Structure 1
């Protein structure tokens, strides 16, 4: 019989609700991969939107989505996270399916806003579902599995989207969107296999309905995490621009580094999350992430020096390895902290609020980092690394301050898991 450690940290999550949650994420991630690969070029080349209009529309969409995360998370707490997750997955599928018939730019922008709103709410509802079905000390292990699964699904979806891009016709783009809608539809159907998680009772019944909006300590933790999430635009935006400006002969390396990041998370995220079962181990993980991200920024910055092209490439690869190591540690630590500090009856709304850090990083990151790094060179990279280091070291004290007077703040030890049995049964 597998040991508890094997059950929690093996290649697959334990059979039962945990594996079902991972399977639902896989289906949705395949759809997301196809959508993210094709959407920008479809809107500009086929629909006829200008890049500026598209950029403003996406910024507006994700800003609205981040605002919707808290009330939709609260809805999951009140109506049940399984039911809410299914509804939002079906809503996402319907919105993407609308791309098959919509022809005007205003309607596309409306659809994109609805897509971002449903996605933000779905993330919060899924986290509430994890909290309802999985013992506290096993949640980070499961989320590591889900993150690994997500990257694998994104890779498959991106490959499908790549085929659509190579064909380049309206029909090919629409076929990719059909895959996206089908992925979310399948994800909703998979969620039906889960037991019904009852609506929250207890702490959520007293006090203000959206209590997280008055929780300054949790807001501080979210703000520190948002600073660390500024790593997100690096590989997708900054590094391709950096290579184009300093070593255009190896422009292909930007895509290769993105693939490297995806495969590393797929292979090592579960291992990177080992031992993170409470607030203190999570704070240590985030602190180590700050150190790794500092090292990554320093090595990225060295590529600005007058060195041969092969040396630039080697430095960029080394920096990307350090970055993905920091990313995995930061992700695992932040998951645990976000759950440990959320009141049991308000997991959905608290997770929705914590998820706004992603929207902040996606919205402000490109503006801040292009000015700091592309113009600042090595000095700019060192400043960013210092910011990451400071945030990594600040997370522990801020999280402990937020945990003060919260009886639920530290996760209990993990109960033994019997292979093949539903966790928490």
Structure 2
């Protein structure tokens, strides 16, 4: 029995090690560059999320209401930037655009260290948010152009894992500044944030240089996409493919369809954007709900975020493999919406019991909510890629990213106007909203499959 147990433990250990290697040190050049850049950016973002509120209010002396208004304005800029970046990526190249966005975002974040006053705050916030959202659209376009089939969705899943772990690390690092709790500590933190974010451009620049080197060594007019049996474009071809066909080849490229003339895609983006409200429910609604409407200790706010981070890191790649086509992705989104509605009911019930019951219900709700996120992310990635016209991948991913930006901007207001303002009735309204979105995915799934090119 002992040798068998040891053998199983060894196999399990190797499997975990292989999974970590494939996530954080992939063999593929594009995947490796995106992973390294994402880790730098998300650690920086985790630090920034932890100290930004105190930086704005205590160090910069801006009242909370003005901070909220300024961030809303910045969110609106982010919506426009997402849309424009998608179309720009098809013209200047997704990789080039992503490099610029990462550099400008890092410099903008670092400038908070020396900024004061409302005007400077709003301008920097708009620049940082706009470049972050534009970079997201460029990143999606780069993934769409560099990978094919199931590997494209797995790549997004692995990046999602990196994002969650990076934000968790950044939040822990920022704890030092929170403990010191001084103006100097907060300003020093955002300076580090800016430097970390800017360093995310280094692996992307290396990838761009490799792309130029490949084009110089093999000056072909059209680079063929060599695909492995599992649907993955070969690593050595990625550098040349990352920004599409070589410019100046003299060969006319077919014009792709505009996403604004694709009603099926726009409908899908609308539905997935409404589902995306759950992120605001998690980051804004739950802290207010736990602190103001339940008897659970406020430490549960951090506990629930930690539970979500761990579950996403462990299971996102596995869940992503279940959405392999438009039809299966639509079913996955339907499941995610129904499960999310159940989570709303559990969150509401947490206000009706004592502290122990509230803690138990909140933990169960967090697990259910994480399952909804895992299914929802996998389904939305597959739909956003597989329903898009590959010839205008940047424009399509820009529209998809714009929908997400709108959801992020609207979520705090919607959640506070429902669950926080009206309690159990508000949670019920949110649950009904998610169930209606589920119906939309049921009705749309088969039709979208027929419209896919």
TM-score normalised to the size of structure 1?
A: 0.87
Match of 1:260 in 2: 307
Distance 1:112 1:123 in 2: 16
Query: Displacement, 1:249?
Result: 5.5
Offset at residue 399 of structure 1 (A): 4.8
Find the counterpart in structure 2 of residue 328 from structure 1: 374
CA contact (8 A) 1:76 1:128 kept: yes
Cα shift readout 1:342-376 (whole Å, capped 9, x = no counterpart):
11122222112112233222222222222321343
Matched, 1:105 2:118: yes
After TM superposition, give the deviation of residue 101 of structure 1 in Å: 2.8
Asked whether the equivalents of residues 81 and 134 of structure 2 are also in contact (C-alpha less than 8 Å), the reply is: yes
Determine whether 1:338 maps to 2:378: no
2:19 maps to 1:10? yes
Residues 52, 200 of structure 1: alpha-carbon distance in 2 compared, 3 angstrom cutoff: farther
Aligned residue among 63, 73, 77 for 1:50: 63
Distance in structure 1 (CA, Å) of the matches to 2:187 and 2:62: 17
CA contact (8 A) 1:95 1:114 kept: yes
Change (3 A) 1:309 1:218: same
- Residue-by-residue CA offset, 1:50-69 (whole Å, 9 max, x unaligned): 11111001001011111111
Name the structure 2 match of 1:63: 76
CA distance 1:203–1:387, change in 2 (3 Å) = farther
CA RMSD of aligned residues (A): 2.4
Matches of 2:301 and 2:314 in 1, distance apart? 20
| Distance in 2, Cα, partners of 1:129 & 1:206 | 18
Give SS of 1:100's match.
helix
**How many angstroms does 1:295 deviate by?**
1.6
- The whole-number CA distance in structure 1 between the counterparts of 2:345 and 2:295 is 21
1:235 positional shift: 2.3
Deviations 1:273-300 (A, max 9, x none): 1232221221121111012112211212
Distance in 2 separating the partners of 1:354 and 1:243: 32
Contact (CA 8 Å) 1:253, 1:313: kept in 2 or not?
yes
1:351 aligned partner: 397
Residue 83 in structure 1 maps to residue 83 in structure 2: no
In the alignment, the residues of structure 2 paired with residue 242 and residue 204 of structure 1 have an alpha-carbon distance, to the nearest angstrom, of: 53
What is the CA-CA distance between 1:400 and the residue it aligns to?
A: 4.2
**Which residue does the alignment assign to 2:167?**
154
Asked if structure 1 preserves the Cα contact closer than 8 Å seen for 2:337 and 2:437, the reply is: yes
Question: Contact 1:224–1:391 at 8 Å: present in 2 too?
Answer: yes
Q: From the superposition, tell whether residues 178 and 324 of structure 1 become closer, same or farther in structure 2 (CA, over 3 Å).
A: same
Q: Does 2:86 align with 1:73? A: yes
* Equivalent residue for 1:233, pick from 280, 305, 317: 280
| Correspondence list, 1:3-402, <5 A | 10-11=19-20, 12-13=22-23, 14-16=26-28, 17-194=30-207, 195-196=239-240, 197-199=242-244, 206=255, 211-248=258-295, 250-305=297-352, 307-402=353-448
How many corresponding residue pairs? 399
CA contact (8 A) 2:329 2:378 kept: yes
Q: The residue matched to 1:193 in structure 2 has which SS?
A: helix
2:362 aligns to what SS in structure 1? helix
SS of the aligned residue for 2:159 comes to helix
Corresponding residue of 1:410: none
Report the more deviating stretch, 50-59 or 384-393: 384-393
Contact 2:85 2:138 in 1 (8 A): yes
Contact 1:280 1:396 in 2 (8 A): no
State the match for 1:412 in structure 2: none
Whole-angstrom distance in 2 between the partners of 1:283 and 1:256: 31
- Residues 141-161 of structure 1, C-alpha deviations (whole Å, 9 max, x = no match): 111110011011001111122
What does the per-residue CA deviation read over 1:291-329, in whole Å, with 9 as the maximum and x for residues that have no partner?
211221121222232x22101111111111100110111
- Partner of 1:95, secondary structure, is helix
Shift of 1:184: 2.1
Using the size of structure 2 for normalisation, the TM-score is 0.82
Report the equivalent of 2:234.
none
Rounded to whole Å, the distance in 2 between the matches of 1:200 and 1:377 is 54
Find the aligned partners of 2:253 and 2:412 in 1 and give their Cα distance. 37
How far, CA to CA, are the matches of 2:105 and 2:310 in structure 1?
A: 27
* 2-structure distance, mates of 1:192, 1:243: 44
Q: Distance in 2 between matches of 1:75 and 1:205?
A: 17
Paired residue for 1:417?
none
